[in-house]
Amino acid sequence: MSISTNLKQVWEELPQGVRLVAVSKFHPNEAILEAYRAGQRIFGESKVQEMNVKHDSLPADIEWHFIGHLQSNKVKYIAPYVSLIHGIDSFHLLAEVNKQAAKAGRIIDCLLQIHIAQEETKFGFSPDECRQMLAEKQWQALTHIRLCGLMGMATNTDNMNQVQLEFTSLHDLFNEIKTTWFTNAPWFCELSMGMSHDYHEAIQAGSTLVRVGSHIFGERDYSAH
């Protein structure tokens, strides 16, 4: 199946209000251009250096979403152009994004990453850490970031009941945080969840941004890196 065929299949499955982040990490520019020509505009990358090279060499109207683990000392390289950072996992990182956004004369949209999986390796706030960070209110002084919602990754398992429960718990937390802190903030409306193997479950649980890579571009070749 070609990239454009795969893309069209995913688009047709998306309900109104759910957007696709085409995760192009480890795939070359030609693959991104094929998706671009088919009409895809949002691409997700997880490495700063790789996203910078692609941003510099690909069409300017691509929206680049950073979906990986972001180190504070690298924020400055993507601040001038990134359109959404999915993986904010500490107040320290949020403050650094704010600082670099101010330097770039921008307001950068961010999602708080919540740890919902059972695996230990996934980054993110626990629900309580997130509640506590918000309750401390320091984030309210950051005028160059805009909190737009939450992001999470389910456990990598074939047990789709568990995946469904994890996504539902993230949606519940989103509702709680929305009503506690963001009732007058219509931009706090994004729930980034769902990858190639679980985006159907994520959509059922209320996802607004699915991050799909291998289902569109094929398997990633890590050996070249």
Ligand X SMILES: *Cc1c(COP(=O)(O)O)cnc(C)c1O
Task: Report the nearest approach of ligand X to the CB of residue 150 (Å).
Answer: 13
Q: Which residues inside 119-158 make contact with ligand X, applying CB under 6 A?
A: 153
Task: Report the nearest approach of ligand X to the CB of residue 18 (Å).
Answer: 15
Return the number of the residue (98 or 192) whose C-beta is nearest ligand X: 192
DSSP 181: H
Sequence-separated (6 or more) residues with CB below 8 Å from residue 99: 144
Q: Distance between CA atoms of 18 and 209, rounded to whole angstroms? A: 6
Angle between helices 160-181 and 127-135 (to 10 degrees): 10
196 is a site residue for ligand X (CB under 6 A)? yes
Task: Report the nearest approach of ligand X to the CB of residue 60 (Å).
Answer: 24
Say if CB 73 and CB 100 are below 8 A apart. Answer: no
Dump the DSSP string for 11-57: HHHPPTT-EEEEE-TT--HHHHHHHHHHT--EEEES-HHHHHHHHHH
Choose which of 67, 70, 145, 148 interacts with ligand X (CB under 6 A).
67
Q: Distance between CA atoms of 84 and 12, rounded to whole angstroms? A: 24
Say if CB 126 and CB 173 are below 8 A apart. Answer: no
212 is a site residue for ligand X (CB under 6 A)? yes
68 is a site residue for ligand X (CB under 6 A)? yes
Say if CB 108 and CB 94 are below 8 A apart. Answer: no
Choose which of 3, 7, 23, 75 interacts with ligand X (CB under 6 A).
23
Say if CB 194 and CB 160 are below 8 A apart. Answer: no
Matching residue, tokens 């300017």:
60
Matching residue, tokens 């505009």:
41
210 is a site residue for ligand X (CB under 6 A)? no
211 is a site residue for ligand X (CB under 6 A)? yes
Return the number of the residue (171 or 215) whose C-beta is nearest ligand X: 215
Return the number of the residue (116 or 142) whose C-beta is nearest ligand X: 116
Site size toward ligand X, by CB under 6 A: 13
214 is a site residue for ligand X (CB under 6 A)? yes
Stretch that binds ligand X, among 27-35, 138-146, 175-183, 206-214 (CB under 6 A): 206-214
Q: Interface with ligand X by CB under 6 A: which residues?
A: 23, 25, 46, 67-68, 153, 195-196, 211-215
